[in-house]
Amino acid sequence: MLLITCPHCGERNESEFIHGGPARMRRPLDPSALSDEAWVDYLTVPSNPLGAVDEKWWHARGCGAWTVLRRDTMTHQFLPRSDDGR
Ligand SMILES: [Zn+2]
């Protein structure tokens, strides 16, 4: 069982959360300058790096808040983020 710490509710079971993907997926500045293939890749191919990744998590079966957490995709362990003071 994976435990996720919601900033409002504390430590909760992962079954209460929905993964929202990478937290910092930037929209291209000028989408019209991209090839059709690059635009489709941006829209449909999520990044899947190995290691520490900032991800959006929605506490859907709890308080309903979105939060950004850093998770090691190799171990599934949640890690402290440098910008959240933990
Ligand atoms: Zn919550």
HEC sequence for 12-70? EEHHHCEEEEECCCCCCCCHHHCCHHHHHHHHHCCCCCCCEEEEEEECCCCCCCEEEEE
In a domain, 16, yes or no: yes
79 forms beta bridges with 70
Instruction: Report the separation in Å between the CA atom of 55 and the middle of ligand 1, taken as the mean of its atom positions.
Output: 16
How remote is the CA of residue 40 from the centroid of ligand 1, in Å? 34
| pTM, rounded to two decimals | 0.73
Structural domain for 54, as ranges: 3-79
Ligand 1 centroid–CA 61 distance in Å is 8
In a domain, 45, yes or no: yes
Domain count for the chain, please give it: 1
- Bridge pairing between strands 78-79 and 10-13: unpaired
Q: What is the CATH number of the domain that holds 75?
A: 3.30.2270.10
Residue 28 lies in a domain: yes
The answer as to whether 47 is a domain residue is: yes
Summarised one tens digit per residue, pLDDT across range 20-77 is 988 877 788 999 999 999 999 988 887 788 999 999 999 999 999 999 999 999 999 9
Let me know if residue 86 belongs to a domain: no
Q: Does 84 map to a domain? A: no
CA of 36 to the centre of ligand 1 (A): 39
